[in-house]
Structure 1
């Protein structure tokens, strides 16, 4: 029994308070919230996908990167994985999960910095890329997917007050608004391009018809393209946008530092326990 008492005394002298519980549970709580956000995005995206299946609206747009449902699900999965690694890694003091969490945060942080540099330093190239991609994937497929349609209508009508990408004539690329179309929307624009009438009791869904025909009055629609309108909005709110980006980056850097500190604490604690010699009772 003397040997056992000696071992117990040695164990009792070990520093069991080395792992910082404040950092541990702060990481756990924060990443639990992030994890729930990821789960919520996945659930909403899955529900939207099921709804599209139910009303037979799955089209070739489903596999496109501009599909809002796809973007929602992918974003949710990424956030879920990051939150899961941080949450479980902190709670269980699991070094591999914490390291994976740090690596993911570093990757996302680098992507955020790269996007910020591109947005500020290569604005012209980015605008050209958006125009080329959107003219191919967004305008022609406006009515192929209700989620994309609602997003475009919101951008044009409620957010930027614009029409098309470069200007309202971009809607010629859509088969429904093409001037050679036999439909009633030929040579027109979506209703979201119309300037709202404050005296109207209801939205006129046919207000954009024939607005691109020669000699047709079109003073009641937005002429500016959404690219230029978005650029103007960005320049107007550049300080708040930069503040949000910096705030997100600071939170990520704090997460990286706290996680790495927790990894170091766990390693130090394990090293101390590994030094305790085995003795027979």
Structure 2
């Protein structure tokens, strides 16, 4: 695409203007920013099959630390929603790390991912039904159609806890922004505060952000307690120990029984 090109914004449908061309994988790709909602996006991503040939990126050295942090955030989010015993769906759950951590803490968590194999939470795949909370950590920057995807998640729960890094530059993120992640090609759309609020509005949600990367979208007003609770997520293991029963042994027995000849 040439420098004077525009495209239809994949979030709101308005005109997105060319920002720059940059390397992504082995391609030169055009990036655009919407003139109405500020959503920053690649051209139509024709390279996704190649990008997802390896679902978990080799450069994701923070995967374990991030999942430990997210497990604590989930506990405190459930607590603030008054639904500590509610079921949780981890959408795009990768190897199943978060689901296993949550179940070991006592949360009734389940896994779903169309790009990755479930290695650590086998037997606890999503089978349908409603949930108290859906998590989508490090996922929304991967979506080609964020409105469609969020509406899909809201079919499973009124509450969707996500992480995606916001940008704050008026003209979109710089070409060398680390979160653009051109080395793996999976990040194709980026939000600032305005575009995230517009996404929530289109999907008839409320949204509250904790810092620059953690956000709760809900059909209902987000409890004031949520920000306080998640800021003190280091206390989540204490909450779990007092209020929940670890599922480690029960899960072992259930899977052992299921696999018994």
Name the TM tier (shorter chain).
Answer: under 0.3
TM-score (norm 2): 0.24
Larger Rg: 1
Higher helix proportion: 1
Higher strand proportion: 2
Considering Cα pairs closer than 8 Å and 6+ residues apart, tell me whether 1 or 2 has the greater RCO: 1
TM-score (norm 1): 0.23
